[in-house]
Structure 1
Amino acid sequence: MTNHLQELEAAGQAVWLDFVDRKFLAEGGLKKLVANDGLTGVTSNPSIFEKAMGHGDAYDEGLSEFLGEKDASVVATYEHLAIADIQAAAADLKPVYDRLDGKDGYVSLEVSPYLALKTDETIAEARRLWGEVDKPNLMVKVPGTVPGVPAIRQLIADGLNINVTLLFAFDAYKQVAEAYMDGLEARVAKGEAIDRIASVASFFVSRIDAEIDKAIDKRVEAGDDEADALKAIRGKVAIANAKLAYAWYQEMIESDRWQALAAKGAMPQRLLWASTGVKDKAYPDTLYIDTLIGPDTVNTMPPKTMDAFREHGTAKVTLTADLDAAKHVMAEADRLGLKLGDVTTGLVDAGVKLFADAADALLGAVAGKRADFLGDRLDGMTTTLPKPLEEAVEKRLESARADGWSRKLWAGDPALWTGKDEGKWLG
């Protein structure tokens, strides 16, 4: 059988896996994908680690060994386990990194999702994780939020490899690309090398269509006069948005500014297509791979999507095809009042919250495991409450979790109370 994943390399696109856990690595799963499918990278996130650490025994041995030496906070326990996995994945991908002279072979680890709207804290966390992992083929994931852009600029200037996440809007991507070039230019100005610094800009795809299609379906069901025009662009907006971003990328790398950096060895910041698993079963399961293939790009796929493309994907350059049609789709989305700008802004806000919720679930799972292993070494408390009060307490605890009360308390954030001078009381 033809392995269509292997054909993507000839089209200029790298294949990355959006999954990593200890059992998968121990069984040689990553090495097999490198050898059989031409895989050149891997990404991780809290949702993936939460499923692996909290629901199974793959991490029990490492957890027991770590906590057997000393007690540690939940965050420290998680990081100990996660960093070991990231280092193992980096080792598996090091031959790829060496073979491609640093152009690929990366594993990504993200900064705390709780810092998505904090510039200085993001910079400090990224530097710390970079030092802890201590592998040249690490990429630190930093969200492409408004506060994230100056952090990206500084971290590139520091010489870190950066995977920019949570990009939905064309304008947000351009700001990130500018930040990458700014960071490289800052290094050049200091006489520092820029030829081994890598970055990707992770442009999320399917979530855009999920929101736009929802709005389209609602209007069609209501008998909108523009029903036919709305249905004509259903499932096409995210792809058109991505194609226009890539067209801008092609113009950018031809610019004098980029050519000056390239002459000093700079590697392009590749566009990475994220959220490529199809959410609407009416669409082909390889839709967001088939339609987004082009040179200097990455497609990071969940395992099911990777399996599907291996079997029946179509590996040919499609990113530069039908650009006029993509422009028409975007013009129609604007004319029909689908408010793509509002959608992408909402998706960033929702993404920040979803990642924080996933981190809460992950740390909660690790906390449960930690409590099991430490047993009587931990002081504990149990409560027995009347059912109405118990329900009220659970509801309040959930709102406290969602709003990050404990994080705000430790940060001395006066917004936890009235937003006035309470922060001065904390020390």
Structure 2
Amino acid sequence: METNNVKKIHEFDQSIWLDFIDRKIMDSGELQKLIDEDGVRGLTSNPAIFEKAISSGSEYDEDIKRLAQEGKSNEDIFYGLAVADIQRAADLFKPVYEEEVRGADGYVSLEVSPHLAQDMEGTLRQARALWKAVGRDNVMIKIPGTAECLPAIRQCISDGININVTLLFGLERYEAVIDAYISGLEERDRAGQPIDHIASVASFFLSRIDVLIDPMLDEKGLGDLKGEVAIASAKKAYEIYKREFSSDRFKPLAAKGANPQRLLWASTSSKDPAFSDVKYVEALIGPKTVNTIPMETLEAFRDHGQADFRLETDMDLATQTLNRIEQAGIDLNDISQQLEEEGIEKFNKPYDKLLEAINTQKEKSLASA
């Protein structure tokens, strides 16, 4: 029997995680099927995914009613629902987590409130609370890689909490995230605590970079670079990853069992219909990385994706691409900052919508009680 196209990606030492969760996919056995047949090795969630799950069906109604009658706030109700789903998903992925290379995969991610993206103390407090509430070794708490949240990321790693650093767009910030991760490991090691069980990923958001930059390229006479900047940035990020996690600074930690913080490619569905629907999956297949993909992209790759090692091909071209962008007067740090701010807003809106939907349901259930 021919190997499934998605499963072939694992031959190149890249892990595919699913960027989706709802109760239906777990109740129906579909998630287990994706693990067994497609070799899906982890799962990520975000406020927009949960908003869709909770607003589009009746699966959550009884739990909302119960939590409302317990006097919970809208946000507490949401996290009550989310934690239960994440625990179920984490249990489904536990066999992956417990494979021979323990802890390499099998992680399920739950995000702190997007309203805390510029609140270090609030982020740290909620990350600790969610970690405790889920109570699974194979969970990751998602914290945005904003300048304000870098100290929270470092402290969580020092606490022994697995972290998925989300909302990364630029190379400069990515380097700061690596520093926060390694600093957290160093602090934990100095305190005499084990560091060999901690896992983290740095989630680089891709297609949104091209959506913002591509119209500028036409104006600058750089139309040949359309759809190439995000991939070039990802390739340069991988260069940084390889350099930093083979550095003299990391070696003593690695000797004590510390894991490198893997790069995770996010926002990998194509937003431009002119591009292949598997463009951002095919282009960035390479070892020790993760790609988290929505269901429709996974199905597209299963149908016609071509797995091959491409992450380190044309590295000189990637460098040239970013140089040409800078020479044309497009500041990639400014672009990254704009995308970060827009990304926070893009998560805040569905989160607020989600809380409104819960409130409507809550009022209905309390009125009928």
TM-score normalized by structure 1?
A: 0.84
Alpha-carbon deviation of 1:26? 1.1
* d(CA) in 2 for partners of 1:103, 1:352: 29
* d(CA) in 2 for partners of 1:304, 1:375: 39
1:344-383 alignment, distance < 5 Å: 344-375=336-367
For residue 78 of structure 2, what is the aligned residue in structure 1?
78
TM-score normalized by structure 2?
A: 0.97
Q: Which residue identity is paired with 1:102?
A: G
1:45-124 alignment, distance < 5 Å: 45-68=46-69, 70-99=70-99, 100-124=101-125
For residue 19 of structure 1, what is the aligned residue in structure 2?
20
Alpha-carbon deviation of 1:64? 3.2
Matched, 1:327 2:358: no
1:17-416 alignment, distance < 5 Å: 17-68=18-69, 70-99=70-99, 100-217=101-218, 219=219, 227=221, 230-375=222-367
* d(CA) in 1 for partners of 2:11, 2:295: 21
* d(CA) in 1 for partners of 2:235, 2:185: 26
* d(CA) in 1 for partners of 2:120, 2:75: 20
Q: Which residue identity is paired with 1:77?
A: I
Alpha-carbon deviation of 1:369? 1.3
Q: Structure 2: state its 5+ residue gaps.
A: none
* d(CA) in 2 for partners of 1:319, 1:49: 31
Q: Which residue identity is paired with 1:315?
A: A
Q: Which residue identity is paired with 2:8?
A: E
- Write the deviation string for residues 359-406 of structure 1: whole angstroms up to 9, x where unpaired: 1011111111111211256xxxxxxxxxxxxxxxxxxxxxxxxxxxxx
* d(CA) in 2 for partners of 1:2, 1:296: 21
* d(CA) in 1 for partners of 2:62, 2:98: 32
* d(CA) in 2 for partners of 1:78, 1:165: 20
Q: Which residue identity is paired with 2:78?
A: Y
**How many corresponding residue pairs?**
367
Q: Which residue identity is paired with 1:89?
A: A
* d(CA) in 1 for partners of 2:55, 2:275: 32
Alpha-carbon deviation of 1:348? 0.5
Q: Which residue identity is paired with 1:232?
A: D
- Write the deviation string for residues 270-290 of structure 1: whole angstroms up to 9, x where unpaired: 000000000000001110011
Question: Larger C-alpha radius of gyration, 1 or 2?
Answer: 1
SS of residue paired to 1:256: coil
* d(CA) in 2 for partners of 1:65, 1:355: 27
* d(CA) in 2 for partners of 1:116, 1:2: 41
Q: Which residue identity is paired with 1:296?
A: K
- Report if aligned partners of 1:54, 1:369 keep a CA contact under 8 Å in 2: no
* d(CA) in 1 for partners of 2:318, 2:103: 33
Q: Which residue identity is paired with 2:240?
A: W
* d(CA) in 2 for partners of 1:142, 1:67: 27
Q: Structure 1: state its 5+ residue gaps.
A: 220-225, 378-427
SS of residue paired to 2:71: coil
* d(CA) in 1 for partners of 2:259, 2:39: 21
**Runs of 4+ deviating beyond 4 Å:** none
Alpha-carbon deviation of 1:65? 3.7
- Report if aligned partners of 2:114, 2:351 keep a CA contact under 8 Å in 1: yes
Alpha-carbon deviation of 1:4? 1.3
Q: Which residue identity is paired with 1:177?
A: I
Q: Which residue identity is paired with 1:312?
A: H
What fraction of aligned residue pairs are identical, expressed as a percent? 48
Q: Which residue identity is paired with 2:292?
A: T
SS of residue paired to 2:249: helix
Alpha-carbon deviation of 1:214? 2.1
- Report if aligned partners of 2:172, 2:333 keep a CA contact under 8 Å in 1: no
Alpha-carbon deviation of 1:63? 2.4
Alpha-carbon deviation of 1:338? 2.4
* d(CA) in 2 for partners of 1:191, 1:13: 32
Alpha-carbon deviation of 1:79? 1.2
Q: Which residue identity is paired with 1:136?
A: D
